[in-house]
Amino acid sequence: MSDPFFTPVSGFDLPRFAGVPTFMRLPHVDFDHPRFSDVQVGLIGAPWDGGTTNRPGPRHGPRQLRDMSTMIRAQNGATGVRPFEALNCADLGDVAPNPADVMDSLKRMEAFYASVHAAGIRPLTGGGDHLCTLPILRALAKDGPVGMVHFDSHTDLFHSYFDGTMYTHGTPFRRAVEEGLLDPKRVVMIGIRGTAYDNEDRDFADSVGIRVIPIEEFHARGVDDVMVEAREIAGQGATYVSYDIDFVDPAFAPGTGTPEVGGPNSFQALQVVRALQGLNIIGADLVEVSPPFDPSGATAYLGASIMFELLCVMAR
């Protein structure tokens, strides 16, 4: 039986446009809250885009994601899953970055997620740019490398930017492999596309055994076939899921800093998450929602819907 404390506020009790917005209208539980130790999945905001190299804005993503997530209801219409009855879920608030210092922000985020992990809570994060995933992995993979299913239009496997800057939203998974946080042979990257400067990232992926599924292959094979392979690659070991909203075609998700045309539609964006069923997911994130490029909130609503699908898979 579900714990009433962790039940989201119903739209029948308080209109969705009223009240303080939390992720999916869940209770806000900070580290000092007496129910903190009872949380099983913590929804967390990572309002930071210090790794952005072109169009900033994802620092505002968590706030808009929370606002749009008030539309989420109790039951998954496709799978029937009722995640808030299966798990004690809460909004753990935002990690507090240092907007003027990349390295300090990485340390702050790692410490925050280390505390979450130590409490036995699986994090589900709304970002923030994709560099946010690196400190999360540092916190979750201290005991050994994990697998990863990565939805994106970019590999984020580059070595560095400009004069050797090593920490941007284009480098987190290169660092994660180098630091032993990811087992590259259990990593699959799906939806990769767009113009490129060179083949550096793809060459690195090949050299360490990361499976890259470009968008042309994704469309040719279809969601079901691609996701069978993705589950096989991740296996039954601990697996992290990282979902960049620019995986989705900008016709459906324009509010992001580095859009790439030719991507999946919004239905396929949900299908790929549902097909993660059966994996041992230790945490997940939805990153790169940038409200300045979509003030309507449509991109954030899709992002919140993807987060709900991730939560449903984690609940099963």
Where in the chain are the domains?
Answer: 4-315
Token pair belonging to 29:
């539980």
pLDDT at 120 over 80: yes
Mean pLDDT of 255-280: 98
Token pair belonging to 130:
């994709």
Q: What is 4-315's CATH topology?
A: Arginase; Chain A (3.40.800)
**Is residue 130 a known part of a binding site?**
yes
pLDDT at 18 over 70: yes
Query: Measured between alpha carbons, how far is 48 from 248 in angstroms, rounded to an integer?
Result: 21
Mean pLDDT of 160-168: 92
pLDDT at 152 over 90: yes
281-291 pLDDT, tens digit each: 999 999 999 99
Q: Is 148 helix (H, G, I), strand (E, B) or coil?
A: strand
Burial of 235 (0-12, 13-18, 19+ CB in 10 A): middle
Query: Measured between alpha carbons, how far is 284 from 150 in angstroms, rounded to an integer?
Result: 10
Task: Give 202's pLDDT tier (boundaries 50, 70, 90).
Answer: very high
Mean pLDDT of 228-250: 98
Task: Give 2's pLDDT tier (boundaries 50, 70, 90).
Answer: confident
Considering only CA atoms, which of 176, 184, 96 is closest in space to residue 141?
176
**Is residue 163 a known part of a binding site?**
no
Q: Which residues contact 172 (CB under 8 A, 6 or more apart)?
A: 51, 130, 131, 133, 134, 137, 156
Mean residue pLDDT of the chain comes to: 97
**Is residue 225 a known part of a binding site?**
no
Instruction: Please give the pLDDT value at position 1.
Output: 58
pLDDT at 305 over 90: yes
Instruction: Please give the pLDDT value at position 163.
Output: 81
Q: What is the pTM of this model?
A: 0.97
Mean pLDDT of 177-182: 98
Q: Percent of the chain having pLDDT more than 90?
A: 98
Q: Compute, in degrees rounded to 10, the torsion defined by CA atoms 29, 314, 172, 243.
A: -100
290-299 pLDDT, tens digit each: 999 999 999 9
**Is residue 154 a known part of a binding site?**
yes
Cα–Cα distances (Å) from 22 to 25, 45, 54, 97, 227, in that order, read 5, 10, 29, 19, 31
Task: Give 150's pLDDT tier (boundaries 50, 70, 90).
Answer: very high
Query: Measured between alpha carbons, how far is 128 from 50 in angstroms, rounded to an integer?
Result: 9
